[in-house]
């Protein structure tokens, strides 16, 4: 799920941005969750309470705390969140990049440019997304893009990651609820594969870049084939 926060003190302007974001992400079949704030301090409080957003879109001219200072705070405390400034003026472009903003959009939003920026940031988010796996007494940080495939056997999951195998107790269904759906395919009741690691498909199996064979059940084969071909097309 792509999580986005939007902060703007003008409701009409916010509604236009919301509509554009929804239209673009729906068009590209990206599942997302959008949370809105009408002032920067509410957003800061929300972040301090432990909420996290992959992307934060900020107006610049807001009372109490402006988008430039808000960006500075976010970049100092939420390093992996990406920030887009959205303003009717280009006067703050250089100040924005000085404090670490990732992109700058000008109101009224140009649909093509906005789509380009949103998809670019979505791709960056996917590349940097990770999860933690408790292996014995150790917490291991694993990037989704490093996962080759996961197999389930007798209440245990084996994560095949960058040439290593991590075995833990768990349910494959739980991983499926959290994984980036565009990148992973449930090809069998006991297997999930990272489509980016697949080099070929034949009847009832995937072959990964490391030469491993991942089975595809008969019931899952049509969808698995369609998913892989769609992934190749981008």
Question: Are 119 and 134 in the same domain?
Answer: no
**The pLDDT of residue 150:** 97
What is the CATH number for 32? Answer: 3.40.50.2300
Query: In this structure, how many other beta carbons lie within 10 angstroms of the beta carbon of residue 148?
Result: 21
* Of 23, 84, 93, 20, the residue nearest 54 (C-alpha): 84
For range 73-79, the mean pLDDT: 88
- pTM of the predicted model as reported, rounded to 2 decimal places: 0.66
In the sheet that 198-202 helps form, which strands lie side by side, from edge to edge? 198-202, 205-208, 213-215
**The pLDDT of residue 156:** 95
**The pLDDT of residue 130:** 83
CA distance 131 to 18: 28
Which residue segment(s) compose the domain that 217 sits in? 130-233
What is the CATH number for 164? Answer: 2.40.50.1020
Q: What is the pLDDT of residues 190-223, one digit of tens each?
A: 999 999 999 999 999 999 999 999 999 999 999 9
Facing residues of 55 across strands? 4, 82
């Amino acid at each position: 799920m792509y999580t986005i926060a939007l902060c703007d003190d003008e409701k009409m302007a916010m509604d236009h941005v919301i509509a554009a974001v929804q239209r673009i992400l729906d068009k590209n079949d990206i599942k997302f969750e959008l949370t809105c704030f009408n002032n920067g301090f509410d957003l800061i409080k929300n972040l301090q309470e432990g909420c996290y957003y992959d992307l934060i879109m900020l107006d610049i001219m807001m009372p109490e705390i402006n988008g430039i200072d808000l960006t500075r705070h976010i970049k100092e405390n939420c390093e992996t969140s990406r920030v887009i400034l959205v303003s009717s003026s280009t006067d703050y472009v250089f100040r924005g990049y000085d404090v670490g903003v990732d992109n700058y959009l000008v109101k009224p939003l140009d649909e093509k440019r906005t789509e380009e920026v949103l998809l670019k940031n979505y791709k960056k988010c996917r590349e940097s997304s990770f999860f933690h796996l408790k292996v014995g007494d150790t917490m291991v940080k694993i990037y989704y893009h490093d996962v080759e495939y996961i197999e389930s056997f007798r209440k245990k999951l084996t994560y095949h990651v960058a040439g290593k195998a991590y075995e833990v107790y768990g349910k494959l269904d739980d991983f499926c609820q959290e994984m980036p759906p565009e990148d992973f395919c449930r090809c069998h009741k006991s297997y999930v594969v990272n489509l980016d690691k697949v080099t070929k498909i034949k009847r009832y199996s995937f072959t990964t870049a490391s030469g491993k064979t991942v089975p595809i059940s008969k019931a899952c084969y049509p969808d698995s084939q369609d998913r892989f071909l769609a992934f190749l097309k981008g």
